[in-house]
Amino acid sequence: MRTRFDDELDELHKAMVEIGQLCKDTITETTDTLFTGDAHEAKDSINLYHRIHKNEREIEDSCLRLLMQQQPVATDLRVISASLKAVYDLERIGEIAADISEMVINDHMSVANDMINLKEMSQTAAEMVNDSITSLVKTDKDLADTVIRRDDQVDGLFDQAKETLIKSFKENGNPEYLLNLLMVAKYFEKIGDHAVNIARWAKFVETGKSGR
């Protein structure tokens, strides 16, 4: 019975790594669409979100089945509970990336130059997502702490973006376009927030405390 349980936990870990990679891929693809305006690539990013949503449901089912059938305790219970919580954040990350791609499609929005460091925000957020999942699967508290600290970097980039866009607005820039840029920057900041949530659940596995 224990061997079967361990096998199912391994499958859960693999599923979490897979959905984490899908999230990282959709962030990268969505960012590319911002600078190319490629509607086909934007649609590919949205399709990735649909896969993420499907995987989320499957992981939730796996977690609930493990909880009901195996009745785990101690660390095993925390692993399953943390995965059940973290997968919600991963689904939200995929949805946010899809929302950005929808903006590219519907508003014909593309960025000729990176006036507010969106590429850096995106890359940092994607790395945070990747590291948060690694910290959860490997129960790496130190890596989780690193993810949490990096949130200040994303927040700082968002603050800089706001200042730049306010200045551009005062100089009679295109208001709708600038507001769209601000929304995209906010979306990347939110992705960082979700990565921090996952990192906190990783710490919960080891400490039994959510750290909120």
pLDDT digits (tens, 9 = 90+) for 153-182: 999 999 999 999 888 887 776 788 888 899
Q: How confident is the model over 135-144, as a mean pLDDT?
A: 96
Distances in whole angstroms, Cα of residue 159 to Cα of each of 13, 163, 184: 35, 6, 13
Domain ranges of the chain: 2-207
Rounded Cα distance between 173 and 177, Å, is 8
Mean pLDDT of 85-114: 89
> Is the pLDDT confidence value at 126 over 90?
yes
Dihedral-angle region of residue 52 (phi above 0 means left; psi in -120 to 50 means alpha; beta otherwise): alpha
Count CB-CB contacts under 10 A for residue 183.
Answer: 13
For the chain, the straight-line distance linking the first and the last C-alpha, in angstroms and rounded, comes to 35
What is the rounded CA–CA span in Å between residue 141 and residue 203?
5
pLDDT in tens, 8-65: 999 999 999 999 999 999 999 999 999 888 889 999 999 999 999 999 999 999 999 9
Whole-model pTM: value is 0.93
Query: What pLDDT score does 171 carry?
Result: 76
Q: How many residues are listed for the chain in this entry?
A: 212
pLDDT at 118: 92
Domain 2-207 grouped into CATH 1.20.58.220? yes
* Band of residue 196 on the pLDDT scale cut at 50, 70, 90: very high
Q: Alpha helix (H) ranges present in 37-117?
A: 39-70, 74-107
The pair of structure tokens assigned to 176 is 């709708």
Q: With bands split at pLDDT 50, 70 and 90, how would you rate the model's confidence at 2?
A: low
Q: What pLDDT score does 186 carry?
A: 96
Per-residue pLDDT at 112 exceeds 80 = no
Confidence of residue 116 (pLDDT cuts 50, 70, 90): confident
